[in-house]
């Protein structure tokens, strides 16, 4: 009943490899199998040494991002049947532009520190005591930042961003989109704190609006839009501070 499909998986073992190399596996294709199912089949039945990250297998944890035939994808959301038709092997490689630790696992500390630097939490000058109730927000106020809050930190956008690939000091799409998620939140008062990090050259100004980050985002966050909107905000703030050095905050 099941046909087979070939996967070419990039293997890299730091103990004995100087460079990564492809290894080919034949995997049965079941109707609803995704690439992650194939990788788990390989690990369970064929080659237990294959190393990769995954968790929820339903597109919400952001762990299983990899390159499938050169495109950044969540392997739990990429169906084998889309690739089975032309008979060519499916190439699975670790997420592009990140250092490879082993096989399909990449080092993401760079992103984690960048994310931390934009302070992705609500910043307030003073906090209401719990007895005074919640901070209220209208649906329109929620609508301003909701799209950016959908980010699952899967890093597909970094794998798609040539600026990040060429210049790893670039803060990157997800970090800026998440900063915007808080900047645009009506309950937040920390926009000027984030601006110090974002308004540097390694912040938003490295971005040339290639737009590929938005194209590959599985949650439709539109980080490219977030970055361009922030460029406008930062520019207005810059002109304001220039024209009213004491008046502007």
Partner 1 sequence: MSDTRPSARYTEYHPRWYRTHVSTWWWLARWPYLKFILREISSVFVAWFVVVLLLQIRALSRGPDAYARFEHWLQNPGIVLLNLIALFFVVFHAITWFNLTPRAMVVRLRGKRVPDRWIVSANYAAWAAVSLVVAWFLVRS
Partner 2 sequence: MVKHSNEPVLWSLFSAGGVFAAFVIPVHLFLLGLAFPLGWIPAPGYQYLHALVTLPLTRIYLFALCFLALFHWAHRFRYTLYDGLQIKHLNELIFVCCYGGAIFGTALAGYLLWNFH
Site string for partner 2, 134-173 (x = CB under 8 A): ----------------------------xx--xx------
129, 182, 178: which is closest to 152 by C-alpha?
178
Contact in structure between 218 and 156 (CB atoms under 8 Å): yes
Q: Which is nearer to partner 2, 105 or 234 (CB)?
A: 234
Residues 170-209 contacting partner 2, CB under 8 A: 196, 199-201, 205, 208
Q: Which is nearer to partner 1, 40 or 93 (CB)?
A: 93
Residues 46-105 contacting partner 1, CB under 8 A: 70, 96-97, 99-102
Expressed in angstroms, the distance from the first to the final Cα of the chain is 68
Considering only 238, 243, 244, 249, the residue that binds partner 2 (CB under 8 A) is 238
Contact in structure between 92 and 104 (CB atoms under 8 Å): yes
What is the rounded distance in angstroms from the CA atom of residue 185 to the CA atom of residue 240?
22
What is the rounded distance in angstroms from the CA atom of residue 166 to the CA atom of residue 31?
39
Q: Is 99 among the residues that bind partner 2 (CB under 8 A)?
A: no
Angle of helix 191-198 versus helix 223-243 axis, rounded to 10: 100
Q: Which one of the spans 53-61, 118-126, 158-166, 188-196 is the region binding partner 1 (CB under 8 A)?
A: 158-166
| Residue 239 contact, options partner 1, partner 2, none, Cβ 5-8 Å cut-off depending on partner type | partner 2
Q: Which is nearer to partner 2, 111 or 164 (CB)?
A: 164
| Residue 199 contact, options partner 2, partner 1, none, Cβ 5-8 Å cut-off depending on partner type | partner 2
What is the rounded distance in angstroms from the CA atom of residue 92 to the CA atom of residue 73?
10
Q: Which is nearer to partner 1, 29 or 73 (CB)?
A: 73
Q: Which residues are at the interface with partner 1 (CB under 8 A)?
A: 12, 14, 19-20, 70, 96-97, 99-102, 107, 109-110, 112-113, 116, 138, 140, 143, 162, 165-166, 208-212, 214-215, 222, 224-225, 228-229, 231-232
Interacting residues with partner 2 (CB under 8 A): 162-163, 166-167, 196, 199-201, 205, 208, 231, 234-235, 238-239, 241, 245
């Amino acid at each position: 009943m099941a046909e087979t499909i070939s996967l070419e998986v990039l293997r890299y073992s730091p103990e004995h490899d100087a460079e990564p190399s492809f290894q080919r596996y034949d995997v049965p294709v079941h109707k609803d199998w995704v690439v992650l199912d194939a990788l788990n089949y390989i690990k369970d039945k064929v080659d237990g040494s294959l190393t990769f990250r995954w968790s929820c297998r339903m597109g919400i944890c952001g762990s299983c991002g990899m390159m499938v035939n050169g495109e950044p994808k969540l392997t739990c959301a990429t169906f084998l049947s889309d690739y089975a038709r032309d008979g060519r092997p499916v190439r699975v490689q670790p997420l592009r532009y990140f250092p490879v630790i082993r096989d399909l696992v990449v080092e993401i500390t760079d992103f984690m520190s960048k994310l931390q630097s934009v302070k992705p939490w609500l910043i307030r000058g003073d906090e209401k005591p719990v007895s005074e109730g919640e901070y209220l927000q209208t649906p329109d106020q929620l609508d301003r930042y909701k799209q950016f809050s959908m980010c699952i930190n899967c890093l597909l956008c970094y794998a798609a961003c040539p600026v990040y690939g060429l210049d790893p000091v670039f803060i990157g799409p997800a970090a800026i989109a998440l900063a915007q998620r808080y900047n645009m939140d009506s309950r937040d008062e920390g926009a000027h704190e984030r601006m110090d990090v974002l308004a540097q050259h390694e912040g938003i100004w490295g971005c040339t609006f290639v737009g590929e980050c938005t194209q590959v985002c599985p949650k439709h966050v539109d980080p490219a839009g977030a970055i361009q909107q922030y460029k406008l905000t930062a520019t207005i703030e810059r002109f304001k501070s220039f024209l009213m050095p004491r008046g502007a905050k």
